[in-house]
Structure 1
Amino acid sequence: MSQKIITIKIAILASEPLGWPSGKHYFPMILNGYSWNSKDKKYIFVTDYIYDRDILKGKLTASKYDVFLIPGGGVGDGEAILKGFTFSYKVRKWKKQIQKFIIDGGGFIGICGGAALFTRLDTGENSRPKSFLEKLYDKSSLDMSVVKHFYNHLAFPLFYPFQYNHPEKIGATGYVFSFSPGETKDGALFHSGGVPVDFKILKDNPIFSDLNSDTLCMRWWGGPGIVIPEKTDRFLKICANYPINDFSTDKKTRIFAWSYRGGFHGLIRSFFVSLSFIKKERLKLKDIFMYIYYLARPWKKSNKIIDLDLSGKPSITIEEYPNKNKGRILLCTSHPEFMVWCDGNINEIEENKQICLGTGFHKWNHVKPFSNDLNNEFTHTWWVVRRFVAWAGKVPDIEMPPIEKGKINDIAKKIIKDNIYWDKTLINQMRNI
């Protein structure tokens, strides 16, 4: 009896509209060409990058793709900022194309900023989005989900107008932009933004039904919480929650807020520093604004911690759009595509005149030494990404991909070299913010 081959086609949004890099290149490595067998079937993933211009041209269709995935970082968060400008005809058309994809039965996956982009913003009881960034994140929503994403505060670290008195109100962006490379107990230096978090796993769903643990360590790097409505018109389930012990208030993983003290003159100085840096490193001039942002100084450390108020909030949800096509929506506020590590604690960098977002304010120390080929840490939750796609692509619940470690191939080795271990250069550090 011959095997039936089922191909699941995945469109990965690859536009980075602000020039801020992302981990989009992890997803083809994890997904493209991956296959597994189930009874008389063989499933195989095939990935394509898709760009904003393609979506505007109508190339994202449910007849061509089974799943549309929006990564976080420079893709999801960059889009969440720009797509908040709803007066733009292109923004409205872009949203309508994605809405139609889901209405027609396509599956959607939003990772971290991709989840925030997809949903309205909730800033807490009796509170509305206040900062410029909060308003953009709220308006960027595609209005296709019944859940909201939660940030108690959200603002740009450099431009927040009230940072002198309330630097902590930049919220989760404090964990996104400002980490120096971390160090293991045996001296390995690695890019270490965010926090490995032990999420509370719920088992009444096909993603985690056969996981032999009630918790799973996944990388968190600035993602929101999720707010569930009291009533809903559709199938909706929570798959994972943040731990009750909030990592943002834990002594080992909390960070202190810093405030920019350079004013307008500091930005002018940063312009010339960035211009020289771009020339030296042979970079693209169009990215100068990103480097001005990274290299502006000086900064001052405060005695206020950044409390994110994520304790116990949902982190992963699944839902079905309520029509005959039942397009599936999966939102994940962590980064299962990224590596994790064990032990360690976050320390503040000593204040100095040269410190800036590009060099970092916080550093992981005393991290447990990595496995020889980094396989244990690097591929730890790749199976989660694969199950996300399988579920969104309407693979039957009993035919999910197996829980297994990934394999370090040549593509993975290059990513480890370029994006995991630090080569002690500033350009390598800023490319991995």
Structure 2
Amino acid sequence: MVTASSIIMNRSLIMVFMRMPVQHHIRTRSVPPSCSKDFNREWFITMKRVLLCVLVIALTAPTIQATENVDISVAIYFSSVRRFAEEIEEPLQYSWTHEGATYTITPYIISKREVLEGKLSSYDILVIPGSGRHYLDALNPRWRSAVISFVENGGGYLGICGGANLASMGFQEPLSPNTLLNRSVLKIANVYVNDEQGEEWQYLWRSNWRYGGLPLNVSIPQNDNPIFGGLYGDLRSIRYWGGPGMYDAGKEDARLGPVTPLAIYAEEPMDVAPLHYWKWEGGTAVPARNITTDIRGQYAAIATTYGNGRVVLFGPHPERNTFFDGHVEEFPVRPKLAPFTWFIYNWVSDNASVISYNWWMLRRSVAWLAGYDMPPISEIAAHIEEPAYGLYIYGRKVIPSQHALVIGPLTITGVLVDAEEGGVYIDGELAYEGTGNVEISVHLVPGIHCIKMTAQRGNEAAWGERTIISLG
């Protein structure tokens, strides 16, 4: 393919050779003393014509594009629940090719130790997922200073739910239980958060993590940031678990850049999924009052800068799937502990999205934070469903665990989403080739094994990995 840049480059080379003086070219080649000046001049003219022919051929021949490999190193912070970090890791096991460059996101799960030892500089981006434990870690001035310096000096910060709260200016109210968290905030994004313990947080405290969380529509406003480019004016369903609404704080600090709203809450959680405080009357649980929220119209996602670094914050959870209809279901889980009964909720629906429905939000956020071109908006994924973390005995999960422990035969299940090609590898050996739903029965020898699923489509690739400890 002949490109404009190749034409300009090749024409420039021709002009350079056309304009070079004869004497310069004679000096570049050793000529025997017996050769006359006329011979030297004829030799140069001949060589000049040969070079012109070569350059003309190069001008009309296809241009070979060199491929550049770019690695984007992402640190995902793990403080209390490793699963939260791994749910971010999976969407970021991804690569794409754009205009001759292949970009590969390489995620690593890190802990408080790496932050305190000054190792953040080894990464391009830091991700703080949803968790309350981060607030405790950030009470340490060394931890807080390390993260702030990382961003100020050019690192990227991606905060989700609690990670968004942590990056903000905190809570605006002068005195409440929430303001205790203000001692931990990083103040690298010029927004306040609205995330009240008795209101929005109840959608976290009362959630069944597997079936809880509600689908909430956000609107995509027109803006100059490319992360949501192509979706301006649309509504998008995203899973919500009690995260913050954000709004402008208006603080004066030269390091704080302008705030760009990427998504705005188009619905109120209390309207989509009404929850209640309960009381016991005559041995029966009855609603005492409604749980209220007030984040509609506030920012669900923002992009900004701090010093030389970039920041993206999400209130809801793009790493989880969502639903396109359904209803909330409340139920008691400890009825014998009245009046301290704990009610939780499920979202009930048969119309769920694929797991990777919103993963592109994370991938494109990482690309923007690192200063690179956007990957496509796509759902490509290689998702391992089972075995998850727990002890499996003859294919049945009996107890949860921090590791995938297996006794006896095992069925590996998963899904290769939006893939043209896909496969499953066990310890590097191809065990399955295809796309769509995956189900493989295996009996692993005792030891540590690696399962890897891969998916590829066009210029995109995704993969998922899981370590299994087989006990025989």
Regarding TM over 0.5, the answer is yes
Q: CA deviation at 1:177?
A: 2.6
Mean Cα displacement is larger for which, 353-362 or 201-210?
A: 353-362
Q: 1:206, 1:369 → 2: CA distance?
A: 30
Q: Of the candidates 205, 212, 222, which is equivalent to residue 203 of structure 1? A: 222
CA contact (8 A) 1:118 1:140 kept: no
Q: Is the 8 A contact 1:83 1:139 kept in 2?
A: no
* Residue 275 of structure 2 is aligned to residue 255 of structure 1: yes
Structure with bigger RCO (C-alpha 8 Å, 6+ apart): 1
Letter of the aligned partner of 1:311 in structure 2?
R
Q: Greater share of strand residues, 1 or 2?
A: 2
Tell which deviates more after alignment, 337-346 or 105-114: 337-346
Whether the 8 Å contact between 2:238 and 2:322 is mirrored in structure 1 is yes
Contact 2:169 2:190 in 1 (8 A): no
Contact 1:12 1:71 in 2 (8 A): yes
Q: Secondary structure of 1:100's partner?
A: helix
| CA distance in 2: counterparts of 1:349 and 1:425, whole angstroms | 24
Say if 1:172 and 1:105 are closer, same or farther in 2 by CA, change over 3 A: same
Which whole-Å CA distance do the structure 2 matches of 1:328 and 1:118 have between them?
Answer: 12
The match for 1:179 among 207, 218, 222 is 207
Alignment partner for residue 122 of structure 1, among 171, 195, 205?
171
SS at match of 2:322: coil
> Match of 1:138?
182
Say if 2:310 is the partner of 1:321: no
Deviation at residue 212 of structure 1 after TM alignment: 7.1
Aligned match of 1:217: 237
CA distance in 1, matches of 2:388, 2:231: 28
Q: Distance in 1 between matches of 2:332 and 2:110?
A: 42
**Is structure 2 residue 382 aligned with structure 1 residue 408?**
yes
SS of residue in 1 equivalent to 2:147: helix
**Matched residue, 2:417:** none
Task: Show the counterpart of 2:293.
Answer: 308
Displacement of 1:229: 3.0
Q: Distance in 1 between matches of 2:111 and 2:89?
A: 15
Query: If the length of structure 2 is used for normalisation, what is the TM-score?
Result: 0.63
- Aligned CA distance change for structure 1 residues 414 and 359 (closer, same or farther; 3 Å): farther
- Give the counterpart of 1:25 among 74, 83, 86: 86
Q: 2:123 matched to which residue of 1?
A: 65
Amino acid at match of 2:71: T
Residue 120 (structure 1) shift: 2.8
Change (3 A) 1:92 1:310: same
Alignment-derived partner of residue 258 in structure 2: 235
Q: RMSD value over aligned CA atoms?
A: 3.1
Q: Aligned in 2, Cα 1:41/1:424: closer, same or farther, shift over 3 Å?
A: closer
SS in 1 for 2:216: strand
Larger % of helix: which? 1
C-alpha deviation, 1:142, in angstroms: 1.1
Aligned partner of 2:45 in structure 1 is none
Post-superposition Cα deviations, 1:223-278, rounded to whole Å, max 9, x if no partner, equal 011121347652321111011x4131x1x5111124799xxxxxxxxxxxxxxxxx
CA contact (8 A) 1:129 1:138 kept: no
Secondary structure at 2:180 match in 1: helix
Larger displacement relative to structure 2 (207-216 or 347-356): 347-356
- Which structure has the bigger radius of gyration? 2
* Structure 1 spans left out of the alignment, 5+ residues: 155-169, 182-190, 262-297, 371-375, 429-433
Cα deviation for residue 83 of structure 1 reads 4.0
Is contact 1:70-1:111 (8 Å) kept?
A: yes
Q: Deviations over 1:21-70 (max 9, x none)?
A: 652112221112x1111112111111111110111111111xx2111111
Structure 2 portions without partners, runs of 5+ = 1-64, 402-472
Structural mapping, 1:379-418, within 5 Å: 379-395=356-372, 399-409=373-383, 411-415=384-388
1:377 counterpart SS class: coil
Following superposition, the deviation at residue 335 of structure 1 comes to: 0.5
**SS at structure 2 position matched to 1:25:** helix
- Cα distance in structure 1, aligned partners of 2:332 and 2:155: 49
Confirm or deny that 1:47 pairs with 2:32.
Answer: no
Q: With structure 1 as the length reference, what TM-score do the two structures score?
A: 0.68
Which AA in structure 1 matches 2:364? R
Matched letter for residue 128 of structure 2: I
Whole-Å Cα distance in 2 between the matches of residues 327 and 176 of structure 1?
Answer: 30
Query: Which of 343, 353, 373 lines up with 2:335 in the alignment?
Result: 353
- Deviation sequence 1:342-365 (CA, Å, 0-9, x none): 211113226872479997432333
State the one-letter code of the partner of 2:363. R
